[in-house]
Chains A and B, each alone.
Chain A
């Protein structure tokens, strides 16, 4: 198993540009989520999904869109990048909601918005 994979590893955007961060998992996990990590603030939940076709907002959803058309993929879209979105983005997955299962994280995407 490749586990949770994320692309790209690094990205530089100009303010106002849009892009999609890719996340895929090959473990047949129902639950997937996106976090951002900023210095001194810990990881914060952006959006999550409990299965294909079902998504919901986390703690810091503004400026981001998600969709879940397949079990394997959960892309995160930045609609109009802002310097405040400079961060490291992590995707995570687990078998199901209900608090029973361990969550697995991808290697992250380091995004800089200038």
Chain B
């Protein structure tokens, strides 16, 4: 059974800092991995989707990497801003599109 762990559970950084969020999963037989952002009381916003054949994806200040064989993904946020404050969720997906979620990293960027 796929299990997903996100470390750290919470993170507070000053504005402008670069930071890395970690995601590990136990079953490497995945088809993709998706990173989401969730603001309090809101739905999930997709940030990046990495296919199993890819090593990384970039969107603006965000860069996600995937090491499928070791069961790890990282989300790198450059030059963090207070607007980046949210919970970040990773979710590896299988052939049937089922996503298994971690419990997230709560990020606070202090102005």
Q: A residues engaging B (CB < 8 A)?
A: 31, 33, 35, 40-45, 48, 50, 58, 90, 92, 94, 96-108
Contacts and interface: CB of A to CB of B under 8 A. Distances in A.
A41 B95 contact: no
A96 B45 CA distance: 19
Contacts of A100: 31-32, 51
Interface stretch (B60-68, B74-82, B96-104): B96-104
B46 interface: yes
A105 to B, nearest CB: 4
B42 A103 contact: no
Which 7 residue pairs of A and B lie closest in terms of their CB atoms, listed nearest first? A99-B31, A105-B44, A42-B101, A43-B101, A107-B43, A102-B49, A42-B103
Contact of A41 (B46, B89, B94, B103): B103
Given A48-B98, A97-B95, A100-B31, 14 more contacts: A33-B98, A42-B4, A42-B89, A42-B101, A44-B101, A45-B98, A50-B97, A58-B98, A101-B49, A102-B46, A103-B34, A105-B43, A105-B44, A106-B43
21 contacts: A31-B97, A40-B103, A42-B4, A42-B101, A44-B101, A45-B98, A94-B97, A96-B97, A97-B95, A97-B96, A98-B31, A99-B31, A99-B32, A99-B51, A99-B52, A101-B97, A102-B34, A102-B49, A103-B34, A105-B43, A107-B42
